[in-house]
Structure 1
């Protein structure tokens, strides 16, 4: 399934320290909602003692339903069993079972991957109001490969899922608001982004950092921008890791923390991000956040050059090394490349 492009690629830049990059919206697999606990558990009623008559009666009246069994089988990896249990319920109109089948067919879990079949079940569950299915079917409608593309219907379904509190839908609907109104959509989008950010969606946390950093839809507040950037970086979003590392080194939005900034950038560089590779070469060269290490600087400078993200300062630095140091740097870079 295609990923939704982040509208910030036009409206917001990462800032003067980092070149503007297109940030892809994460389209994760929908979270399969577990069935609610039994009524007694939900109300806090004590369970009958094992072996009692009440326990035996409770076992007959409150045993796991077929839907519970289907979800349990899915969670344990028994996908064919999950399909067998879910299909009768789905055919009777159970939206949770329909969503479960959509998930299984969309991922090809124990069955041949079949996006048309997945779309059929997601559509049925979405029509019944299941927020996970509304989100998934909205993404299918936007993609337009399996079914006819329908952006208007996708927007309605995405909003419905967002208003039901599904974090990924909140984030994606926020993007839709900005795409629909690049000049005025930020204020409405901020509310949805913030809810998704609070639920731990890394891209939404990054989006909030950009809104606060640039004063778009919210008052400009670098402290809050840095806090959201930190959350997104800890959540593994690579662009946030790079930018947060640079903010720490430059003391933007709070005190400078050079060593921590270096570690964030080094982590992203090891994962192969060209921007981070370039910055780590400079940090080793200048001894910022780490001890000066010309051999490491040269190695990362070689990698930056190979990634077409070098600069005149790094090029001059490398040319100024003696032949032995240049050879060692090339060999070290090759070891990283082969590893």
Structure 2
């Protein structure tokens, strides 16, 4: 097409023609009026890079989409880029990006226009785009070295996008030796020309101290400039700064505002973060359905953390219909992207038969993958497996190793388990003082088991000087969380006035709360209260009921007390008997003088 070739001559200055980008656009539009598809794609290129027209990513996208219907290679290659990385007001869609990458392969000459512009005409924009094609393997085989070379050729000509991506190469060691100072230099050069991605990256460098002294306030300043120009990456980072109070006063509402702006542009990290905000009521009203909705948006784009979170929603019916097999599917997808949370969740599913058949060896396999990546909950789970011989031979020393690794990362459950190992001498030399040390660590994180264990240590002088008042303090902490064992222990102290004011009525109430949780020892103590009238009126019927519950759970003392109580009921005078029918006694399983019926 003659008009198309004239456009190329004016764009690149071919055949002695002076470069005139406006004239180039004029001839491309003339060619397009004759339905010349390639001209439509090149027009998109002109709008994307501001060649002869004002830069407009949205208009560029529309030309690319139109030309790609006829399998124009340039258009499909640029759509692959835009869908993967986005640009202000052009929506990201990683799945669609992969589809366009595959479609480019259908046009064997897809890269010809770009290659010629980069190599023959040495056009900076074409050089940048050719670098991208080598970078992502779009229409060409991936090649970091070639990508870097073309980026540098573009950057050396002052192209802002070439400069920005060259900064990335130096910052990440992509195709060249890593040099953070050089990365920052190129980012600044691009940012000075208004390149929003480079502006964002300058902020990122200030946040993490990459090639520059760490300065969170400065980071927020750069993020804001980029975010206000519509950059989705910067909008998400600014939201994160407001959520956690990084370089700016914490403000959950502003956090979700920026997450929403980014998520609406399809940025998967923002979609995941927004889902988390809805699920936990951070800056917005709690809404589990919207939480799952945004997780799924990000998960479908291959975002590993969102895939895991969506799996958790499916497993527990949070905002979606409970579906354990669907949960495992998402956990697997996340695990395929090496998400250590997903490794642990898959292990849990295999251990407990959630969405899959129970397979303890498979559970240990997944726990190990996660634990090796220093994921504290997985280290705890692996420790339990070794301590109890689940999927592996029982090995208390190995259990202690994993408990310790998890505990040293601050995992409260692991700290409690490690304390128990020291107290009991499981896999480690008995050291009660060390046990108390780890119980304290865990208890301060409000772990009720550790609080109860610490209370027991103070009550009995285990690893610390005996102190009933301190014991009651920790029992109270755990009891406030309705911890059954702590309720029972606190009630005993209250019943006897040990370290706390004696109060039989309150002790009875605590025994009752613990017993209703099927805590066997509390059931025994509750029955004792009913039999002896401690904090409650004597009620031998209720005493019988609770002694029986405890006895059925294996409490020998309750079995004996129940036997005595029933013998007593048979021997006392009729006027002294509690109101109990033969049916009542039959229900207890004990009738004086009779055997239980054979099954």
Q: TM-score, normalised by structure 1?
A: 0.73
Q: 1:310 aligns with which of 540, 558, 561?
A: 561
Give the root-mean-square deviation of aligned CA atoms.
3.6
Alpha-carbon offset, residue 193 of structure 1: 0.9
Q: Map 1:167-246 to 2 at 5 A.
A: 167-180=412-425, 185-246=431-492
Q: Map 1:25-40 to 2 at 5 A.
A: 39-40=237-238
| Paired residues, number | 299
What is the DSSP-based 3-state SS (H/G/I as helix, E as strand, rest coil) of the residue aligned with 1:290? coil
Q: 1:62 aligns with which of 257, 260, 270?
A: 270
- Structure 2 alignment gaps of length 5 or more: 1-235, 244-253, 273-302, 316-322, 553-557, 590-599
- Give the match for residue 134 of structure 1: 379
Q: Is the 8 A contact 2:545 2:588 kept in 1?
A: no
The separation in 2 between residues aligned to 1:282 and 1:211, in whole angstroms, is 25
Q: Map 1:115-154 to 2 at 5 A.
A: 115-154=360-399
- Give the match for residue 42 of structure 1: 240
Q: Is the 8 A contact 2:263 2:270 kept in 1?
A: no
What per-residue deviation string (whole Å, max 9, x for no partner) do you get for residues 236-271 of structure 1?
A: 444433332221121111111111111122344556
Q: Is the 8 A contact 1:67 1:85 kept in 2?
A: no
Cα 1:248–1:163 shift into 2, 3 Å: same
- Structure 1 alignment gaps of length 5 or more: 1-37
Cα 1:179–1:54 shift into 2, 3 Å: closer
Q: TM-score, normalised by structure 2?
A: 0.44
Q: Is the 8 A contact 1:98 1:122 kept in 2?
A: yes
Alpha-carbon offset, residue 169 of structure 1: 0.8
Q: Which deviates more from structure 2 when the two are superposed, residues 214-223 or residues 175-184?
A: 175-184
Alpha-carbon offset, residue 145 of structure 1: 4.5
1:71 aligns to 2:309 (yes or no)? yes
- Give the match for residue 98 of structure 1: 343
Q: Which structure would you say has the larger Rg?
A: 2
Higher relative contact order (CA 8 A, sep 6+): 1
What is the DSSP-based 3-state SS (H/G/I as helix, E as strand, rest coil) of the residue aligned with 1:62? helix
- Give the match for residue 357 of structure 2: 112
Q: Is the 8 A contact 2:304 2:339 kept in 1?
A: no
Q: Which deviates more from structure 2 when the two are superposed, residues 323-332 or residues 154-163?
A: 323-332
What is the DSSP-based 3-state SS (H/G/I as helix, E as strand, rest coil) of the residue aligned with 1:308? helix
- Give the match for residue 160 of structure 1: 405
Alpha-carbon offset, residue 139 of structure 1: 1.6
Question: Normalized per residue, which structure has more helix?
Answer: 2
Alpha-carbon offset, residue 93 of structure 1: 3.2
Q: Is the 8 A contact 2:459 2:466 kept in 1?
A: yes
Cα 1:331–1:158 shift into 2, 3 Å: same
Q: Is the 8 A contact 1:105 1:114 kept in 2?
A: yes
Q: Which deviates more from structure 2 when the two are superposed, residues 78-87 or residues 66-75?
A: 78-87
- Give the match for residue 318 of structure 2: none
What is the DSSP-based 3-state SS (H/G/I as helix, E as strand, rest coil) of the residue aligned with 1:76? helix
The separation in 1 between residues aligned to 2:433 and 2:479, in whole angstroms, is 24
1:247 aligns to 2:458 (yes or no)? no
What is the DSSP-based 3-state SS (H/G/I as helix, E as strand, rest coil) of the residue aligned with 2:355? coil
